[in-house]
Amino acid sequence: MQNNTEFTQAQRLLETVIINAIDFFKRSINDIDDNPKYSIINFHASIELFLKARLFSEHWSKILVKPLEVSFTQFADGDFQSVSLSEAIKRLNKIQDAHISKEEKECFDRIRKHRNQLVHFIHPNYTDRPDIIMLSNMVEEQCKAWYLMHNILTKRWPDHFKKHLDRINELNNRLESKREYLHTRHQVIMSTINVEEMTGVNLVRCARCLYKSAKISETLGALSIAECVICSTRNCFLSVECPQCKRTAHIYDDENNRCEGCEYQIDLDDLFELFGEYPKPGDEHIQAYCNSCHHYGRPTVVPFDSKWLCLNCVSIYDTISQCSDCYEFISGRIFDSDLRGCMMCSDT
């Protein structure tokens, strides 16, 4: 058990980890144009430190490879080996309300592999001044990873980073200024997009880069999944009739929920009218709280086809679970809830 002095020092060290993560991200943005190799390396360091900071917030020993062999004094002196990005994700997935989704893990893993190539080998694309197409591909990769990480920090883990949210959002805006590279990529593949539309390929607006460049790959009733060919973002959205103008509107989440025809904002109440009833009359009506968007005001996960759908963030789940402590229903599978509780227990 930590004494007060150790706890205070650990909190100061945690603040340092978060500040370093922000500084690496800032340097990554600054290096995009002239030093893209170091932009990737610094970006990877930033992502890894943000994940470790969340582990650290549970206890400082959770970021150690061998926690039983390191004293706090050794830790404070820097005499330790910390976990890798992959191991940090594994440990986070064992902590209630800290899980990293499969899409997020795969995206961060691509950054890790790209970083390893640059650190250990000579990459021909980075030996001379890079061209605009190579830069656009790199910005695409970083924009997608940061889009996911920014969502994690500001929507799922805000309590752990609340002192730094203003600076995190400021840097988010700076990365958005690099959209010129995505615009170039859009111009380069515009002819391909036009040909695909002419041949009947269904393209929709991407919620991330805002181009009409997301190709629908899967549908489940009113739910569609589309992969953007510009920024590689995976878009999940609902196609619903706008209550005001009766046109088809695409709802991505609680921030991208306006009808493009009349600008009417389709809110949760509208979506509950459409999807809130249990699909089989006579069955027990169950709704659950979402483990992704953490909308505490009301349970937003409803039965949808053979799965479960959050009407707030449009996340889809195979199942829901009931907490053994507070008896609330939570999306996905929860483990050891009799010992650790769930997101609703920690909120109360």
**What is the per-residue pLDDT across 237-294, written as a single tens digit (0 to 9) for each?**
999 999 899 999 999 887 788 888 898 999 888 999 888 765 555 555 688 998 888 7
Q: Are 294 and 332 a contacting pair, CB within 8 Å?
A: no
Q: Are 291 and 346 a contacting pair, CB within 8 Å?
A: no
Give the chain's mean pLDDT: 83
Res 348 pLDDT > 50: no
Split at pLDDT 50, 70, 90, the class of 182 is low
Split at pLDDT 50, 70, 90, the class of 13 is very high
Q: Are 148 and 104 a contacting pair, CB within 8 Å?
A: yes
Per-residue pLDDT, 174: 81
Interacting residues of 5 by C-beta distance below 8 A, sequence separation 6+ = none
Instruction: Report the interhelical angle of 165-176 vs 132-151 (nearest 10°).
Output: 150
Q: Report pLDDT digits (tens) over 49-105.
A: 999 999 999 999 999 999 899 999 999 988 889 999 999 999 998 887 888 988 889
Q: Report pLDDT digits (tens) over 132-155.
A: 556 666 777 787 788 889 889 998
Res 192 pLDDT > 50: yes
Which residue's structure tokens are 């799922």? Answer: 156
- 5 by DSSP, 3-state: which? helix
| DSSP codes joined into one string, 43-100 | HHHHHHHHHHHHHHHH-GGGGBSSGGG--HHHHHTT-S-BPPHHHHHHHHTTSTT---
Mean pLDDT of 189-194: 72
Domain boundaries along the sequence of the chain:
4-183, 202-266, 279-347
Give the strands of the sheet with 307-310, arranged side by side.
301-304, 307-310, 316-317
Per-residue pLDDT, 284: 58
229 vs 309, higher pLDDT:
309
H/E segment holding residue 161: none
CA-wise closest residue to 271 among 243, 307, 246: 243
**Assigned token pair, 298:** 């009301």
Per-residue pLDDT, 135: 61
Per-residue pLDDT, 297: 82
**Assigned token pair, 104:** 């997020």
298 vs 55, higher pLDDT:
55
pLDDT exceeding 70 applies to what percent of the chain? 84
**Assigned token pair, 282:** 């006579």
Gap between the Cα atoms of 310 and 316, Å rounded? 6
Checking 145-149 for CB contacts under 8 A at 24+ apart, the result is 145/43, 145/47, 145/107, 145/108, 145/110, 145/111, 146/25, 146/43, 146/172, 146/175, 147/208, 147/233, 148/103, 148/104, 148/107, 148/108, 149/47, 149/50, 149/104, 149/108
Gap between the Cα atoms of 249 and 263, Å rounded? 10
CA-wise closest residue to 311 among 323, 328, 298: 298
* Geometric angle at alpha carbon 148, from 145 and 150, rounded to 5°: 105
Res 176 pLDDT > 80: no
233 vs 8, higher pLDDT:
8
Res 38 pLDDT > 50: yes
**Assigned token pair, 157:** 């883990």
Gap between the Cα atoms of 145 and 120, Å rounded? 22
| DSSP codes joined into one string, 255-324 | TB-B-TTT--B--HHHHHHHH-S-SSTTS----BB-TTT---SS--EEEETTEEEETTT--EES-EEE-T
Alpha-carbon torsion, ordered 256, 262, 263, 266, to 10 deg = -60
Res 324 pLDDT > 50: yes
For residue 101, what are the β-bridge partners? none
Lowest pLDDT segment from 13-22, 53-62, 130-139, 160-169: 130-139
pLDDT exceeding 90 applies to what percent of the chain? 31
CA-wise closest residue to 108 among 48, 52, 155, 152: 48
Mean pLDDT of 145-168: 90
